[in-house]
Amino acid sequence: MANNEPLAYRVRPKTLEEYVGQEHVLGKDKILYRTIKADRLSSIILFGPPGCGKTSLARVISETTKYKFYKINAVTAGVADIKRVIEETKNFMLNPTGKSILFIDEIHRFNKLQQDALLPFVENGTIILIGATTENPYFEVNKALISRSMVIKLEPLTEEDVYKILKNAINRKDGLGEYNIKIEDTTLRKLAGIANGDVRTALNGLEVATLTTTMSEDGYIYITDEIIKNSVQNRKAIFDKNGEQHYDNISAFIKSMRGSDPDAAVFYLARALNGGEDPMFLARRIVICASEDVGMANPNALVVANSAMQAIHMIGMPEARILLSEAAIYVATSKKSNASYMAINKALSDVQNKDTGEIPMHIRNAPIDKMRELGYNEGYLYPHDFPGHYVEQQYLPDKMLGTKYYESDSIN
């Protein structure tokens, strides 16, 4: 190739009309589309999974705006780079508008000091910030920057979107148009499906398939299902065990067990394991769910979950997946009761926020005879001395009499 840039870079859109996907924010009646078209953009934070089009959207903006456009990557840039952009923006000779657009890729990598350096210039309008991140900005980006920006969530591209981009890449002169590629639509759609919403993965796979396939005698490069399979391997999993996907997936896993859906529980378990999640972390979540959500409805669930956790600690992966599946399914299919969970929460709230009175004298400890003379343990009735091993007597302090924490009828 004359151009050594990756295919994914070469075929990036230059106009909104070329941009594929994200109709929920870039449809012609949507505010982001209108503001870009009118070149009236305010600061925005784009977040979404890899390959969904964040950088491509920034490039479209750079091609359509009248303002000077700067791009830096938070991994390699620092405060000095921000200061350079500010100085050039304020230099009337270099920038008569006195305003510029600064695109910061992976903005979540900036520390607090670096993010704070942007604040005054974003606030006074000198800088229009476009931040791109794969992490949830509400967790990773300075709250002050968030409050001064429009936060836009980009979704993984649909299979149809990725297919359109691949088809376009094959025909574009700056893409793979110089090659005589023959590929069935079904094969191209399989590649789009394997990418799982990440167009960069799909384009890289297509480029590898093209460059590593020998041209046939008839002058064509035939790309088959087998070639695509060898070029991309497994379906890409949109899962980052250190990012937002970690929290979303574990939340879905727990809620599926709580909601008595074993199929969903196993699905999110598989998703976590495929993404490299720590099996012991997953085992601990199952133990917690067994106690919090199954509880008194089936106390044996805690025994099963705890046994699985101990066994996983001893044997590890890949066999641990079986134990995790068994424990998750057992918890998901058990009857549910959060009575113990609710009881301790209510009791803790009372202890922390109320005057709950004193422990009744008759159930206090009296290891010394002199304490008995003071009334400690006096009048205590030993339940095992009575029929049925039960006798009615007061246990709660006077101020808490009548309080009910454990509601056994919540089992269902």
The pLDDT confidence band at residue 78, using thresholds 50, 70 and 90, is confident
**Which residues, other chains included, contact 247 with Cβ-Cβ below 8 Å and sequence gap of 6+?**
none
The per-residue pLDDT for 276 is 83
Whether the per-residue pLDDT at 1 is higher than 50: the answer is no
Alpha-carbon distance values, 200 to 9, 51, 56, 159, 369 (Å):
9, 5, 11, 13, 80
The maximal CA–CA distance of the chain, rounded, in angstroms, is 108
The pLDDT confidence band at residue 65, using thresholds 50, 70 and 90, is confident
The per-residue pLDDT for 325 is 96
Which part of the chain is CATH 3.40.50.300? 22-153
Number of Cβ within a 10 Å radius of residue 119: 15
pLDDT one-digit tens code per residue, 376-400: 888 899 999 999 999 999 999 999 9
CA torsion angle 127 132 136 141 (round to 10): -30
CB-CB contact of 32 with 68 (8 Å): no
Return the structure tokens found at 222: 């035939």
Return the structure tokens found at 19: 């941009």
pTM for the predicted model, two decimal places: 0.64
Overall average pLDDT of the 105-123 stretch: 88
Number of Cβ within a 10 Å radius of residue 15: 10
CA distance 252 to 3: 44
The per-residue pLDDT for 92 is 84
The pLDDT confidence band at residue 269, using thresholds 50, 70 and 90, is very high
Overall average pLDDT of the 247-255 stretch: 90
Which part of the chain is CATH 1.20.272.10? 244-333
CA distance 307 to 358: 40
Whether the per-residue pLDDT at 411 is higher than 80: the answer is no
- Helix, strand, or coil (residue 223): strand
**Which residues, other chains included, contact 350 with Cβ-Cβ below 8 Å and sequence gap of 6+?**
356, 400, 403
> What's the mean per-residue pLDDT of the chain?
88
Alpha-carbon distance values, 78 to 72, 106, 115, 128, 316 (Å):
9, 13, 10, 18, 42
Whether the per-residue pLDDT at 267 is higher than 90: the answer is yes
Which part of the chain is CATH 1.10.3710.10? 340-410
The pLDDT confidence band at residue 2, using thresholds 50, 70 and 90, is very low
CATH number of 244-333: 1.20.272.10
pLDDT one-digit tens code per residue, 137-156: 888 888 888 888 889 999 88
Q: Does CATH number 1.10.3470.10 belong to domain 159-232?
A: no
Query: Hey, what CATH class is 22-153 in?
Result: alpha beta
Name the helix (H) or strand (E) containing 129.
strand 127-133
CATH number of 340-410: 1.10.3710.10
